[in-house]
Chains A and B, each alone.
Chain A
Amino acid sequence: MALEVGGKSIATDEEGYLENRDEWDMEVAKAIAVAENLEMSDNHWEVVNFLREYYDEYQIAPAVRVLTKAIGKKLGKDKGNSKYLYELFPYGPAKQACKIAGLPKPTGCV
């Protein structure tokens, strides 16, 4: 499968996760978000950017609890919980936000 962004074709897997993380940019993220019926707000970007920073350092997306804590610090304590993250990413912060951030899908019993 592939995603068309700005005249370029970006390869994705069957579920829409990028095959190659290096092809990600903000336009690609927006295109994935559209496919997910999401409109990217500043708060969405905070989450996506944190995921990418974390991935660069640890080669995996952060655990949901690590993410909620980090977002609580950035956006205020009332937003540092999974309920808020589910409001931003209704299919679940781990999978949907990772997809938009161009990261591989978290696997296992999650």
Chain B
Amino acid sequence: MAAKFDTPELFDNIEIIDTPRYAVDSMAHSRPYPAKPQHNESLGFPGELVDNWEEKAVTRLGELVDGSRALRTFLDSCVKCGACTDKCHYYLGTKDPKNMPVARQDLLRSIYRRYYTFSGKYFPKLVGARDMDKSVLDEWYSYFHQCSQCRRCSVFCPYGIDTAEISMAARDIMDSVGLGQKYCNEILGKLQTIGNNLGLPEKALINTLEDLEEEVEEDTGVAVKYPVDVKGADVLLIVPSADFFAEPHIDGLIGYGKVFHQAGISWTLSSYASEAANFSMFIGSGDNLKKVAQRIRDAAEELGVKRIIVGECGHAWRVAYSFWNTLVGPFDFLDPNYPAPQHIVEFTYDLIQRGALNLDKEANDHRRITFHDSCNVARASRMGNMPGGQFILPRALITASANHFFDMSPETIHENTFCCGGGGGLLTDDLMEIRIKGAMPRMQALKQVVDEHDVNSMVAICAICKAQFSKALPAYQFPMGMITSLHQVVGDAIQLGTKT
């Protein structure tokens, strides 16, 4: 269990998030548990820190900048203008200047300069270039696990430098020399052997879904189905495995089932590809990214579905929307009349647009709702066929299902959204301090709508956000139950048993 720490204080009537004073090295102690040798080896990495790791790390960095013009440009182009400095939730919550995005980038940039630029090779001190040594590796391990790869800083960078890419590269290098992070690497191993992050075997998955069917029928009197491995179903639904296991995630899963039920569209889950999440992105591993994505394509072909729909999982949607086609496409075996892949929010939105769902908004009258934009949906993907659809569609689902909706302050939503504090592979108990401190800006914005509009429900469409807020809300004296799945709100409004 982590040592005790103080939760940051929230202020009354604050319009913007204040820039804190510095607290130098205040988070230098934050380090996640390293992965065990078998976790690293199962992903193709050395089990433990290799001999000559300094040299190998530098070589790997060279391979990465040679392979990605984007990464090289990000490392070359910073002019230290300072626009990013107060944009990171971890900096705002911890006051540690190494959590300023520019400082985080410099942890890698200083090594890049030393070995791969003329000035750094010959005049290292003049250009902030450093030798690769143990203190650098320690700093990387600490501070590249204080970045949730949320990309908020890149929105404000005049050069568009993407700190997430730099953080992914640093984690790739650390994995390549045998220093992996336990949380991500253990989970990725489970996914590739059992089919999901939880390690939920087929038998348990089926039992859990049967139990859920029983519960929904008891509650509603309607036999809503949660099918698995049904060959010939129209839709393969890929959800984060937390949707089977945790609260409030499972209420979202219940909602998806109600939507399919009322729309009368046949669907199935897959026991082989029972995971939307793909943590390979967090550790910057292209090989694993592809392997995990391939499972979903294989399941879709095996089941003979016409469409693939992705559930409420933020980074999964980035991987699906932005990378699937390149990694494991083309998806030419699917019905070309539908987007491939499609987000569950797009699916439900289309049904609402054509009057295929009977929604009773009053069913949600006990809820006063706000919406938390998840970073990977907001800043790394799109929904629907209009610009900003990823902001418009989820809100349209809420306002079609509920009467009371209030947005948080504009500098904290849409593309300016603040990370929940647990994204990018940081959602682990050993990083609880950085998670709680990093949630501060979002909690501050939430406090404002709670104070002004009596908001009692914060809706999210990401499994990480939901699990993270279940911890962060109580830390800031909000009820844990405020965090709500979007499809719970939709599902509660659906008038089952009525015809459209």
Contact = CB atoms under 8 A, between A and B. Distances in A.
Interface stretch (B171-179, B207-215, B229-237, B433-441): B207-215
Given A15-B430, A65-B212, A108 B201 contact: no
Contacts, number: 88
Interface in A44-71: 57-60, 62-66, 69
Given A60-B204, A86-B480, A108-B277, 17 more contacts: A14-B33, A15-B429, A58-B203, A60-B199, A64-B247, A65-B211, A65-B212, A66-B208, A69-B215, A94-B245, A94-B246, A107-B198, A108-B198, A108-B240, A108-B241, A109-B197, A110-B245
B197 A107 contact: yes
B211 A110 contact: no
B430 to A, nearest CB: 7
B277 A82 contact: no
Contacts of A16: 1
19 contacts: A15-B430, A59-B201, A60-B201, A60-B204, A63-B211, A63-B246, A106-B245, A107-B183, A107-B186, A107-B198, A107-B199, A108-B187, A108-B245, A108-B463, A109-B241, A109-B249, A109-B313, A109-B466, A110-B242
A65 B480 CA distance: 16
B276 to A, nearest CB: 10
B250 A110 contact: no
The CB with the most chain A CB atoms within 10 A, among B197, B241, B246, B480, is that of: B246
Contact of A64 (B250, B277, B429): B250
A86 B186 CA distance: 27
B201 A109 contact: no
B242 A108 contact: yes
Given A15-B429, A58-B204, A95-B429, A63 B1 contact: no
Interface in A93-110: 94-95, 104, 106-110
Nearest to A60: B204
Contacts of A58: 201, 203-204, 207
Contact of A108 (B1, B196, B247, B430): B196
Nearest to B468: A109
Interface of A: 14-16, 57-60, 62-66, 69, 82, 86, 92, 94-95, 104, 106-110
Contacts of B186: 107
B84 interface: no
Contact of B208 (A59, A63, A104, A108): A63
B244 interface: yes
B190 interface: yes
B187 A63 contact: no
Contact of A110 (B215, B467, B480): B467
B209 to A, nearest CB: 10
A66 B242 contact: no
A47 to B, nearest CB: 16
Among all A-B residue pairs, the 9 with the closest Cβ atoms: A108-B197, A109-B463, A58-B204, A109-B242, A110-B246, A63-B245, A108-B198, A109-B467, A60-B204
Interface string B20-45: 00000000000001000000000000
Contacts of B168: none
A66 B210 CA distance: 10
A64 B246 contact: yes
B164 interface: no
Contacts of B201: 58-60
Contacts of A62: 204, 208
A74 B223 CA distance: 25
A106 B244 CA distance: 12
A64 to B, nearest CB: 5
A38 to B, nearest CB: 13
Contact of B464 (A66, A94, A109): A109
A110 B430 contact: no
Nearest to B470: A92
B211 A69 contact: yes
Contacts of B215: 65, 69
B198 A65 contact: no
Given A60-B204, A63-B208, A109 B240 contact: yes
B427 interface: yes
